[in-house]
A and B are shown apart, each in its own frame.
Chain A
Amino acid sequence: MTATLALRDDTWWRQAGIGLLLPIALLIVWQLVGTAFGTVRTPLPTNIVKAAGVMIASGDLPEALLQSLGRVFGGFLLAATIAIPLGLLMGYSRAVERNLDPVVETFRPIAAIAILPLAILWLGTGTSAAVAIVAYAAFFPLIVNTVAGAKNVNPTLLRAAATMGLDRMATIRTVVIPAALPSIGVGLRIGMGVGWTAIVAAELAVGAKAGGGGSGGIGQMMFVFYAYSIELNRIIVCMVAVGLVALVLDRILRAMMRKLMPWALP
């Protein structure tokens, strides 16, 4: 937000400098107050950096992140393969939409994490339950945005396609899908964000409820640091890692959208 609206006569390093002032000041205050009044367990910025170094060097943190990321991609792909074709069909055909929309709208308000107990019951405490939660979480933003995109097709284009004698499949392929792509892209981005949040929640809850079973992942790692070896520094390292991954995922998707469909972004 700041970058686009900043005054023109400022160089980027000056802008960044002003912006970084407050975070750095807060970190210094945290460090000073923590050393002065804290106990042994109080997390301090310097110790957090040290903990991060140890966790990265030992390979634990990258491994847990990769495991969680794998689950997110799995669930995300599952959701996309169902939601995008279905959404295109619903957006294209009024009859299909009318009949399927009630099911979507009934389940949409149910938070993905609420389904977790059922997922554990049906799929156990391993990877498949986590993948199912991600798929459920990502499904709704994907389908809603795909339907909205497919509905937004310029009717003139549809009529032109009909005039030129295109059949249904060809119309969907050449007219509906390109018109819906920007909206699908938005759905992909939201779905990815929601899926990443859901995986952390799912792994945390599985860790909490399955007695720290060995299903792994970043969420589980955090829970172990909370419940078994009380290491607040490491919990904070995990939190920062979760945030960084969320940011990077969003940036990658945004860059991909800009490449693939430059007309989609404002």
Chain B
Amino acid sequence: MATLPIATTAPAPRRTWGALVYLRTMLVFAAVWAFVAWWTDNPILLPSPLAVLEAAIALARDLELFEHAGISLGRMVVSIAIACALAIPLGLAMGLNRRFDRIVDPTFELLRPISGIAWIPLALFIFGIGNALPVFIMTYAAFFPILVGTVAGVRTVDRRLIDVARTMGVPQRTIVTRVVIPAALPTLLVALRLGVALSWTAVVAAELIGAPSGLGYAVEWYRELLATPQVMSFIAMIGVIGYTCDTAVRWLNRRLAPWAEARR
């Protein structure tokens, strides 16, 4: 298994200046967009940025935007919780016990290349259309990076720390909670970030095909109505939530494992 590749963005030189540059670039982008929209002159194919903004405000005022976002976000939180509850203990066991790892690891390695999305048709048949399908797909998508990250994290623990604890007569249970978990935490949190990103990608696919609600469903619903401004508003909402979740996990990362930033 490869290490988890995470691209870090460069720190902005100064916050306000960075925000200004951002605004300037996006204004140019919006201007180009507006020009192309005016040029094609087809509000169904490409509505103007103002029309999209209007639609987004109307959807926000109806709370429809937030309702679907809340549903999708709720599903993701549940899925991540389930994935963590399954993958972290398993990963700890696999990282700590080599024999267990050798027995179990190939099974997961065989399953891992099958992407969560490829499970959708079978899961549709098993669970039908509803809440269970997206939750299953997202849990599956988040499970593997978290498992791999936990195992990798446990492996990076300095053996001497465990030996010292053992020499001092610390019981195995306490070694796990006080030595192994804190040392594995930074790697685990990086994996969590990847898991959240993957499961958020999967939710859109799962909802697009097999859920009666949520952001993916809303995007598809408005596409069928040819209401492109609404489609774009929901797509933007998917991006906003994706970005917010990523920022939240990164914040958690800094709070829980401040020493990891320097190490990476």
Q: Which A residues are closer than 8 A to B by beta carbons?
A: 1-2, 5-7, 15-16, 18-23, 26, 97-103, 105-107, 109-118, 120-122, 141, 144-145, 148, 151, 186, 189-190, 196-197, 200-201, 204-205, 208-209, 222-223, 225-226, 230, 232, 235-236, 238-240, 242-244, 246-247, 250, 266
Instruction: Using CB atoms, name the residue of chain A closest to B215.
Output: A114
The residue that A118 contacts in the complex, of B8, B104, B105, B235, with Cβ under 8 A, is B235
Q: Could you list 18 A-B pairs, sorted by A, with CB under 8 Å?
A: A5-B98, A7-B98, A97-B10, A103-B26, A110-B239, A111-B200, A111-B205, A111-B242, A113-B117, A113-B208, A114-B235, A117-B220, A117-B235, A200-B118, A226-B124, A235-B121, A235-B125, A246-B115
Q: Are B102 and A222 in contact (CB under 8 A)?
A: no
Q: Which 3 A-B pairs have the closest CB atoms?
A: A19-B106, A109-B242, A243-B114
CA distance A190 to B201 in the complex (A): 15
The smallest beta-carbon distance between A157 and chain B, in angstroms, is 20
Q: Are A239 and B29 in contact (CB under 8 A)?
A: no
The smallest beta-carbon distance between A94 and chain B, in angstroms, is 9
Interface of B is mostly: helix
Tally inter-chain residue pairs, CB-CB below 8 A.
177
Q: Are A111 and B201 in contact (CB under 8 A)?
A: yes
B interface, how many residues as a size bin? 35 or more
* B122 close to chain A: CB less than 8 A: yes
Q: Are B106 and A23 in contact (CB under 8 A)?
A: yes
The smallest beta-carbon distance between B71 and chain A, in angstroms, is 15
* Given known A103-B26, A109-B243, A226-B124, contact A197–B117 (CB-CB < 8 A): yes
* Given known A103-B26, A145-B5, A225-B121, contact A111–B114 (CB-CB < 8 A): no
CA distance A110 to B45 in the complex (A): 19
The smallest beta-carbon distance between B48 and chain A, in angstroms, is 15
Q: Are A19 and B25 in contact (CB under 8 A)?
A: no
Q: Are A118 and B122 in contact (CB under 8 A)?
A: no
* B21 close to chain A: CB less than 8 A: yes
CA distance A246 to B44 in the complex (A): 37
Q: Are A120 and B223 in contact (CB under 8 A)?
A: yes
The smallest beta-carbon distance between B138 and chain A, in angstroms, is 12
CB neighbours of A225 from chain B (8 A): 121
* B56 close to chain A: CB less than 8 A: no
What does the 1/0 interface line of B1-26 toward A look like (CB < 8 Å)?
Answer: 11101011110000000000110111
CA distance A122 to B8 in the complex (A): 33
Q: Are B104 and A99 in contact (CB under 8 A)?
A: no
Q: Are B118 and A102 in contact (CB under 8 A)?
A: no
Q: Are B118 and A109 in contact (CB under 8 A)?
A: no
CA distance A109 to B246 in the complex (A): 9
Q: Are A1 and B204 in contact (CB under 8 A)?
A: no
The smallest beta-carbon distance between A137 and chain B, in angstroms, is 9
CB neighbours of B238 from chain A (8 A): 109-111, 114
* Given known A118-B232, A122-B45, A190-B5, contact A98–B117 (CB-CB < 8 A): no
CA distance A6 to B98 in the complex (A): 8
* B101 close to chain A: CB less than 8 A: yes
